[in-house]
Structure 1
Amino acid sequence: MLKRLILLLIIFSAFQTAFAQKSVSEYETAYKKALQTFKSGDFEKAQTEFGALCNNRIESTFVPYSFYFNALSSTKLQKYFEAKTTLKNLLVLYPNWTKKDEINYLFSNIAFEEKNYVDALNYAKSITDDSFQDDLAEMKAFYIGQIQSTKTLNELSAKFPDESILLEKKNKTAIIANTQTSTNSSSKNKNYFNFGLLLPLSVETLDPERTRKNQYAIDIYQGMKMAKNVLLKEGITINLFTYDIANNTDDMLELVNNESFQKMDLLVGPLYAESNRVATAYCETAQIPIINPMSNNQKLLDEYELVFLAQPSAVMQATKAAEFVRKQPFLGRNTAIYYTDSPNDSTMAETYRQQMEKVGYEIVKFEKILPFADDIGNKLPEKRVSHIFMATSDKKAGLSMINALNKKDVMYPLVTTAEAFNSSNLSNGTLAGREVYCFDPEFVDVEKPIVDTFRKDYLSKYGVIPSYYAFHGYDIALFWGRILGRYGNNIRKGLDNRDSYKDIYNLAGFNYLKSQDNQVLPFTTFQNYKFVLTK
């Protein structure tokens, strides 16, 4: 990457010299200043300066270079979503720019950083200039060398059989895996299953009458204990072993080397990235499933084929939102998409854009917003749209969007996350006459008889009303206990059998057909002072 950058800087400097004899415009002066800022290594300032130049629609051959260096500055700052957006805008506004290979090289570099290996290799493959080949080989060797997942390497090798660097890494990893894999057939023909709960309990004793910082972890555990009793009546025995695990790799490494821990048949958690990485590597070696009870990060699924998300990922939620919208009688085939500043928000927004573009929707607006009515109002579309999609984890954003729409006097349907609203502050008048739909993986339908029964049983046993996490823990233990009880080691066979999803659960349930990502997502709308399931 450094050699490519040096070459570009030489080319661009020569390019500037050709213009030196002419009258230097204000734009070109600002461009040279921004380029010097970039060369000095102040990428934050360079991004700001090139960003301002990108917004200037002056007729100058320097403008596409401003876009490129803006994206390159964003990449240096690890702001990959912003970098990709800038490069896409560059391609749209300047489709005939001669530096397409430079753009694809940067796209490939970003994709490798984000571990989107298929995109990275496809971008690399599209580069035709021979002068790039040494740099490409060096970049591929660096990033492919970091891949440890056998699953990922096998999938990539199948898609890119001619990549020699990939084949070499795959063979090395296979040799290591074969020497490490023990003969673990403990789940076959067993009449009980050990569940290891790797949760940040942070307590000496589990007393549900005391509220603690990590109460949600205790609630998950208490819910799982309720499910254990139900499974026992079905002839399935699960043993629950709790391990107080936070974001400490040393603790996790010590645990996986513990002989008793190696008798686990399934892990739930850990909730933190570093300890989760160690646990996932252990599960791949032991060939047991690992369930992430709260994460929405789809990238966790890339490492191993028995990693599962109990909640739908941000990508899955946006995909399901697009499916939901296509079934609604909204007028028109265009949309405006907005997102706030968390990584999940931008991931959802980008996925939703891709899904809607696939079916021919026009994206009228794609904007990052602040959760305030004035900022949103300034970015609302001038032309009519069929609906607005907003990806946000900010509870101020929902009402701010409604206020902005009211001020503009437009009645577009709004599709957004449940996190957009603080339901305790809502009234029927606030959303009167508006179509508002929220997708909510944590929705508890209090009208379901099974929910009412669980609430009463939980209250009777523990003396408190169950939280969402108690319902969630109960459902996770019940579902995975049944999968192991009915299918043993052949987990994928069970997950791809539609009969596995006929049972009714407290929450929306599960669907892992041909997937490691839960494909079930409830959609709600506001009625009578509360959110209810859409019909």
Structure 2
Amino acid sequence: MRKINTLLWCLTLWAGVTLSFKSLAQDANYERDYKRAVALYKTGEYNLAMADLLLLTARKYQHGLVPFAQYYYSLAALKNNRPLESQQMLLQLRERFPEWKKMDEVAYLLADLSFRDKQYNKALEYLAEITNVSVKKDVEPLKRVYINPVQDLALLKKLNQQHPSDKIVALRLIDVIQRTSNDKADLELSDDLTNRFGIAPIKPANDVTPMKKNTNSQSKGYYNIAVILPFKVKEFSPNQRVRSNQFAYDMYEGMKLAKAKLQQEGILVNMFTYDIGSDPEDMLNVVNNTNFAQTDLIVGPVYSEPAKLAADFAQSNGIYYVHPTSLVTDLSATFSNTLLLQPSFERQASQSFDYMRSLPAATSKKIAIYYGSSRRDSTLAAAYRAKATASGYQVSDFRRTREKLDSTATISSVNKPGHIAVFSSNENDGNKLLTLMDKRHINVPLLANSTAFNVGGVGANTFNSSPVYIIDTEFIDIAKTQVRDFQNLYFSKRNTVPSIYALQGYDLVLFFGRMLHKYQNQLRNGLDVRSYDDDYLLSGFNYQHSNDNQVVPIIQIDDARWVRVNAQ
């Protein structure tokens, strides 16, 4: 028995040694074949390299060079104009060797291949995985190669929503908006992105030439208002019923009616129109024209670079520039003579929060905030959270509405906030929050911006469960006599119902025309005196010690009619 055991032990030892030598031999053969295949790749023999490397990627091999063989196969396939095979091998490599030390290079190659296939979102996701510094330095150039040629505005906006922190995407989106879009929402998005990323202004070929304003300009008996909007007259077609820049025409029609109203009051206003889009050179030509020095008020332009030139000119020449669409304060913070026609995001958040916490029903100093997918939504939500936190409130829940709120939201009948806020550009999100509140038996005030609900089509029974308050900076009180009269007058002249932009244009010229007439060169003093709601169509103006309009209407439905509930 002892001899048998010894014999078995010797046989086992011999088999182990044999297997070890065999394994070493196999490893040596693998390394030899691998080096030969890589040499073929480096000499440009991509077909031969692919054939040899493919054999070395078989799952039977456990050699440490297998992931390298897969990687070089992918490179060879890419060089051989066979991108699908390259991509498939890279995906196999990620699945088989997820901890491989060169996985960042794999992500970079997959991003390149995804870009080539116009799968931009997937490409950006791959690039976001990269942490290696030496690889990361090539990420931005790769993005520029594929993102900068993109002209599809809808695609760029979607990519910006999916990758809100990506500066290359943001820069490209701004550029395309500035060159191709006149849509008001797009212009606001461009302003938001410019403000967020701190993009340096484009340096014009020549600087603005400050012109000394005629000291007697206000005593000449009339006032010159420069209306600088993207009319795109060269592209105008009377047969085109819907235009992306329709707001410019509607606003100007309202301005013309205000001019006639001012004339009835003995105030003479001249309006000079300038068709300026996104090209700063066009604006530069305007402000450097000697006749432009006679301007008493500038309305527009709306694009960021021309707007900076207009703001600079107004500041240098002691007049005021009114931005008709922007909700961000970057220009007004830099140029004290720049005014925003509407309240900024920060203003809307501050005043609506102050109103909500004043409600008797909002007793708890705990709130929940939900927001939609657009940059406008998240900006307003962030401003609201900042205001609440600074006021000593606890934000118990802060998340996007696109998440599954039924399962992720932390509010409940036990963890009940004093009030809830939802800011969204999706008109279904308001009802989504009301449904959630009803399911969880939470009966507290809900604050929303006007785009979170279909305010025009919502029924009073929608708000039976909880009191709902809406921020509506474009609120039109249809019960006002002035509004009905304006609508009738506009319809008689244009044979169409006036849009909100027509009402804004009317109020803007009527207000500033009166202010110029009364306060002349001391316009700032007049703005600081009080708020003005008088006979304006919308909710009036308040620039007391501010550069954005402080009037933030908050409305609530009352007997099937929307009414304003916060007084200025």
**Which of the five TM-score ranges fits, normalised by the shorter chain?**
0.5 to 0.7
Aligned 8 A contact 2:477 2:538 in 1? yes
- Please point out which of 512, 515, 518 is paired with 1:480: 512
Aligned 8 A contact 1:268 1:293 in 2? yes
Tell me what 2:539 maps to.
508
Say if 1:352 and 1:346 are closer, same or farther in 2 by CA, change over 3 A.
same
TM-score, normalised to structure 2, is: 0.62
Counterpart-to-counterpart distance in 1, 2:549 and 2:470: 18
Match status 1:344 vs 2:376: yes
Matches for 1:16-415 after TM superposition, within 5 Å? 77-78=166-167, 114=196, 180-186=209-215, 187-203=217-233, 211-213=241-243, 214-329=245-360, 330-370=362-402, 374-375=404-405, 378-382=408-412, 383-415=415-447
TM-score, normalised to structure 1, is: 0.65
Gaps of 5+ in 2: 1-97, 112-123, 132-162, 169-193
- Please point out which of 518, 521, 531 is paired with 2:562: 531
Tell me what 1:418 maps to.
450
Alpha-carbon offset, residue 33 of structure 1: 7.9
Counterpart amino acid of 1:456? N
Alpha-carbon offset, residue 472 of structure 1: 0.8
Alpha-carbon offset, residue 334 of structure 1: 0.8
Say if 1:48 and 1:271 are closer, same or farther in 2 by CA, change over 3 A.
same
Tell me what 2:151 maps to.
none
Gaps of 5+ in 1: 1-29, 51-73, 80-111, 117-142, 149-175
- 1:355-382 CA distances to partner (integer Å, 9 max, x unpaired)? 1122221111122331x7x346522424
Aligned 8 A contact 1:38 1:46 in 2? no
Alpha-carbon offset, residue 340 of structure 1: 1.9
Say if 1:76 and 1:473 are closer, same or farther in 2 by CA, change over 3 A.
closer
* Structure 2 counterpart SS, 1:423: coil
Counterpart amino acid of 2:367? T
- Relative contact order, higher structure (CA 8 A, sep 6+): 1
Alpha-carbon offset, residue 292 of structure 1: 1.1
- Please point out which of 483, 490, 496 is paired with 1:464: 496
Counterpart-to-counterpart distance in 2, 1:75 and 1:207: 36
Alpha-carbon offset, residue 479 of structure 1: 0.8
Counterpart amino acid of 2:213? N
RMSD: 3.8
Counterpart-to-counterpart distance in 2, 1:448 and 1:244: 34
Counterpart-to-counterpart distance in 1, 2:428 and 2:476: 22
Alpha-carbon offset, residue 147 of structure 1: 9.5
Q: Percent identity?
A: 33
Aligned 8 A contact 1:377 1:405 in 2? no
Alpha-carbon offset, residue 401 of structure 1: 1.9
Alpha-carbon offset, residue 47 of structure 1: 5.5
Counterpart-to-counterpart distance in 2, 1:474 and 1:467: 11
Tell me what 2:94 maps to.
none
Say if 1:76 and 1:517 are closer, same or farther in 2 by CA, change over 3 A.
closer
Alpha-carbon offset, residue 442 of structure 1: 0.5
Larger radius of gyration: 2
Aligned 8 A contact 2:209 2:288 in 1? no
Alpha-carbon offset, residue 203 of structure 1: 3.7
